[in-house]
Amino acid sequence: MTILVWVIAAMGTAALAPPLKPVSDQAEFLPSHYESVRAGELQGRAFPQQEQPASVMVFRRDDGGKLTEEDLADVQKVAAGLEKAGLDKIKKVETSAQAVSPNREIALAGIVATTKDPYNPDLLDSIKQMREEAKPLLKGTSLHMGITGASATTLDTLESSGDTDAMIMMATLVLIVVLLAAIFRSPLIAILPVLVITLVFVVATGLISTAAEFGGFQADASIGSILIVVLFGVGTDYILFLLFRYREFLRLGQEPKEAMGEAVARVGETIASAAGAVIAAFLALLLSSLGMLRAMGPALAISVAVTLLAALTLVPAVFSLLGTKAFWPSKAWRREPRHGLAARTASLTARRPALVAAASGGLLAVLAAGVLNLTTVFDNAGSLPKNLESVQAAETLERGFSAGQTDPTQVFLEAEDGGKLERSQVLAYEKELSAAGLGQVTPAVLNPEGSVARFGVVLKHKPDSTQAIDVVSGPLRDAAHQAAPEGTRVLVGGTSAVLADIQHATHRDYSVVFPAAGIAIMVILGLLLRSVVAPWYLMLAVGLGFAATLGSTVWLFQNLMGEAGLPFTLPVIVYLFVVAIGTDYNILVVARLREEVKRGNAPAQAVRQAITHSASTIGTAAAILAGTFGVLLLAQNSMLQQMGFAVAFGILLTAFVMALLLVPAVTTLLGHRTWWPGRVTPDTEPEEAPAPEPALARHG
């Protein structure tokens, strides 16, 4: 009946739930009080018909020489030919005398779209088609052409990343199947978790889209790849937590349904606490000022809640129904494994806890030191392979123009109280802005009412570079505001301004979201362990693991490989997958420690038992999750490589260094003080069931 209810729920949500919709509006990403958002709103009101090139065609001679008049005529012919091609979402291709560089080596043509969204899929397809259409037009000329700019860079980013979702899904499925088959030696156990989690994925996605439709929050369709990893990562963890305990009780001679009931009773609270910690961490994202993270929080929390429900109902139902047939054809489940390496590690930790704590904590501290050199960057194009057309065209453009030519920063001068700007005010302001020497200032464009003037400031740096963001967030905004004539107000917008505001919002979020999540997780740990002491050192260990993960990534990519910096989103990604999900392993180990102490074992013996019996569960779960992200190291995009390494290495650190070494060692050192102010008293009744009867007597 339980399985049937889940199947009906999956079919119902798949059939009735609305689809997830993509969200691309920048105003939905940043709160409306940020200056770049207000500038964008003013631009929409004052210049509703304004046309801004979505991408730029960059022309140069094949021999690298100066452009001749014949070359410029060919530029006009190519631009006209592409405009006549009638490509979807392309309004026109425009050229001008000002689009020839002062050194006459480079000429530009703007691609004006019919949509204001440079990331529109139809527009991206047209940019791709335009590259092909240009090839016959360029034959017989001395010209070489490349397309760069927002749309072209987005197109190349998508193509260089490949089908990342499919790659992650395939890697996850293969890892789950192969590792479970190797450990349990059963095809059924290898496949069943995949089927169970796929069912959970369908239900969770349906609930998320329904909640987004009727609950007032937005969930971007792009969340799919994150959902895959979260559901398969968390789901596999919880299934393994259950299966390993289920197998333990089967070995003690219990019948399958009794063994599964006992397993759920023992680890159900642990799984619920682990899920609660992850849900709390994800819901803390609601405190973020960035729309993307606020939407991601509830969606991921819903997915983990559904996974928890499945772990406590669907998984026990499936394995109770199958009984010992789930392990077919292997009979190894009947024998206690040797736990060779795990047992030796457990023995060392129990005998020399101070040494193990110092070594594991010291390793994490050394790796964490790399955080001191952390530099975050917003330059998506910089992470792309250098052989892509948009990257090469951008480099070519810089031979004749400033790097910001394709996307100038916008400065808006508006008369207060709806009045009109005087010409003298506009000219004086343009002069003041130019005198700041921060970039070439283009002449003012007035809106039809004469109340708003728009200036373009062409920076020397790429719009999404750290240098451009620093210039806009500091000197340019300061100079623009200070030069405003009396009776006017100024707003600075454009790509660099948006990124500057995102940077500010991100730093604000780090100081709010992370502490809130930490407090929530500490409360959950305190309730699970009935302790005030344990949650403190567990969260300190998690914080050290977080810093060690980021520090390791800095050491590798910035210091050894010479990257300019790491993606600004990386700390949040590490938070989501290393801190939130990795906390599961800490909870499992400490809950098992508490259980062993409750059985009457001394702290050192409790640590031996906890590590010995938890190592295989944690090791398998960590290997699957780390391997899933490790696949991203095969991507050509360096940003994806950095993300893949950070999460994969962070999960391995969390599992093997923190959960299996540092936390048990500190727990051994603290002894019974770990559980203060509560006391863990041994059970009066024996924990283990009597030895099983001989098989012939029982079944005979």
Q: How far apart are CA 503 and CA 164, in angstroms?
A: 26
> Of 320-324, 379-383, 661-665, which range is least confident?
379-383
**Phi and psi torsions of 459, nearest 5°:** -80, 160
> Of 127-141, 272-286, 470-484, which range is least confident?
272-286
Q: Tell me how far apart the 2 most distant CA atoms of the chain are, in Å.
A: 106
- How is residue 345 written in tokens? 């590690």
pLDDT at position 128 is: 92
CB 415 within 8 A of CB 421: yes
pLDDT at position 309 is: 93
Mean pLDDT of the chain: 83
| Statement: residue 24 has pLDDT above 60 | no
> Of 113-122, 249-258, 658-667, which range is least confident?
113-122
Nearest to 385 by CA among 559, 204, 640, 591: 640
Angle at 364 between CA 358 and CA 367, to 5 degrees: 135
| Statement: residue 380 has pLDDT above 70 | no
| Statement: residue 520 has pLDDT above 50 | yes
> Of 94-103, 145-154, 188-197, 486-495, which range is least confident?
94-103
Q: Cis before residue 329, ω within 30 degrees of 0?
A: yes
CB 365 within 8 A of CB 541: no
pLDDT at position 220 is: 56
Count the Cβ atoms, other than its own, within 10 Å of residue 649: 21
pLDDT at position 358 is: 95
Q: How far apart are CA 274 and CA 242, in angstroms?
A: 13
Nearest to 587 by CA among 519, 528, 517: 528
Q: How far apart are CA 577 and CA 646, in angstroms?
A: 10
Sheet holding 53-61, edge to edge: 90-94, 107-113, 53-61, 143-148
Percent of the chain with pLDDT over 70: 89
> What confidence tier does 696 reach under pLDDT thresholds 50, 70, 90?
very low
Task: Give the tens place of pLDDT for each residue, 410-465.
Answer: 999 999 877 888 888 889 999 999 888 888 888 888 888 889 999 999 988 888 88
Task: Give the tens place of pLDDT for each residue, 403-425.
Answer: 788 788 999 999 987 788 888 88
pTM for the whole structure: 0.77
How far is Cα of residue 65 from the mean position of the Cα atoms in its chain?
45
Q: How far apart are CA 595 and CA 609, in angstroms?
A: 10
How far is Cα of residue 416 from the mean position of the Cα atoms in its chain?
42
Count the Cβ atoms, other than its own, within 10 Å of residue 15: 8
| Statement: residue 634 has pLDDT above 70 | yes
- Average pLDDT in the 197-216 region? 82
Residue 58, classed as helix, strand or coil, is strand
Q: How far apart are CA 293 and CA 283, in angstroms?
A: 10
DSSP helix, strand, coil percent of the chain (3-state; round to 5): 70, 10, 25
> Of 20-29, 154-163, 214-223, 289-298, which range is least confident?
20-29
| Statement: residue 684 has pLDDT above 50 | no
State the residue for tokens 């889209």. Answer: 209
**Phi and psi torsions of 637, nearest 5°:** -75, 120
| Statement: residue 25 has pLDDT above 60 | no
| Statement: residue 50 has pLDDT above 70 | no
| Statement: residue 476 has pLDDT above 90 | yes
pLDDT at position 112 is: 87
Residue 62, classed as helix, strand or coil, is coil
pLDDT at position 580 is: 77
Q: How far apart are CA 271 and CA 257, in angstroms?
A: 19
pLDDT at position 692 is: 40
State the residue for tokens 């729309």. Answer: 291
- How is residue 495 written in tokens? 């790509």
